[in-house]
Amino acid sequence: MNSMNRMKNLISKSTSGIISTQEVFEENITRNTLNKFIKNGELTRFGRGL
């Protein structure tokens, strides 16, 4: 499974609609993939260190 599919799976599994950077990295998803989702508007960055 590639990073894009792992990210979509992680988003769909989130019951609260919130995912942390730690969760992303635990799924071996790259920072680049995370930023693509943010730039495309599929994710919104709303805080740091929460």
Task: Check residue 50 and give its pLDDT.
Answer: 62
For the segment 12-45, what is each residue's pLDDT rounded down to a tens digit? 999 988 999 899 999 999 999 999 999 999 999 9
Q: Is the pLDDT of residue 48 over 80?
A: no
Regarding pTM above 0.75, the answer is yes
Task: Check residue 46 and give its pLDDT.
Answer: 86
Answer for the pair 21, 34: CB distance below 8 angstroms, yes or no. Answer: yes
Cα separation, 12 vs 48, whole angstroms: 22
Q: Is the pLDDT of residue 9 over 90?
A: yes
- Mean pLDDT of the region 3-20: 92
